[in-house]
Amino acid sequence: MQVRGIHHLGVAVADIDESISTYERLFGARLEGRDELSEQGVNAASLFVGESRVELVAPTGEDTHVGRFLARRGPGMHHVALETDDIEGTLRRLVREGAELIDETPRRGLFGLEVAFVHPSSVHGVLTEVVFDG
Amino acid sequence: MQVRGIHHLGVAVADIDESISTYERLFGARLEGRDELSEQGVNAASLFVGESRVELVAPTGEDTHVGRFLARRGPGMHHVALETDDIEGTLRRLVREGAELIDETPRRGLFGLEVAFVHPSSVHGVLTEVVFDG
């Protein structure tokens, strides 16, 4: 079995600090860490909500992927990341099954993870990330 | 600790059978069960994706909550359900912290779960369900 389960739920927000506070207050979340991918224009925080992870992503400017997402749809769920123990094998399977990949080969994502995104049109509108987390 | 983690990710889709097939083919998902809440106009399938659950929800007609969601936004992520071992305590905490509840008391949801929804305006645009699963 390649896919282990949900690695994290990605949520697009305008203000990282305010959003961390919301998840702490409402659901007892604990901050795991913060990171930034400047070439993608994203600031991020990883939270543990119980045993699960929520990744908050905020744009560093309006003309970024997350900035345009917020302008178009407002804050909310942005992507789901599925953890795999074999990212190359998972990508081969996706291609074989006709899925459209945004990243045809794995790249370095937030928090040092090896990641690749699948186009939402192949997954009923869900922007899906596959993640290898060591 | 009340909140244990993500119980399931809820995805709004137009066609349940086609969507089950997509998750099976792309991610090796296994069908856990099907259910319907006729008073809410929802057909549902619960899938295991690795160790995690994805709940597919399809409308029974256009003039339903999920029908209007699909017409407005298209298919995609609809809600996230957080599992709690004390749903009454979790709801008291949410009220104390100023969150707006859609369900002020738990009700019977899909698959026999005890559930209550929190308004997305209180969780940065994320429609959040709290779930007690026995």
ipTM summary value: 0.96
- In chain B, which stretches have pLDDT less than 50? none
The CA-atom distances, in angstroms, between B23 and each of A86, A93, A128, B11 are: 18, 12, 11, 12
pTM, two decimals, is 0.97
pLDDT of amino acid A1: 53
A33–B contact, CB cutoff 8 A: no
> H or E element: which one contains B67?
helix B65-73
Domains of chain B (ranges, CATH numbers): 3-132 (3.10.180.10)
Q: How far apart are CA A65 and CA B72, in angstroms?
A: 21
pLDDT of amino acid B88: 96
Give the pair of three-digit tokens for residue A118.
Answer: 């699948």
B55–A contact, CB cutoff 8 A: no
Cross-chain residue pair B5–A82, CB shorter than 8 Å: no
A71–B contact, CB cutoff 8 A: no
Q: Report the residue from B76, B97, B125 with minimal CB separation from A125.
A: B76
Who contacts B10 (Cβ-Cβ below 8 Å, separation ≥6)?
A: B55, B57, B77, B78, B79, B80, B81, B127, B129
pLDDT of amino acid A23: 98
Average pLDDT over every residue of A71-97: 97
Average pLDDT over every residue of A86-97: 97
Task: Write the pLDDT tens digit of every residue in A18-31.
Answer: 999 999 999 999 99
Task: Tell me if A101 sits within 8 A of A37, measured CB to CB.
Answer: no
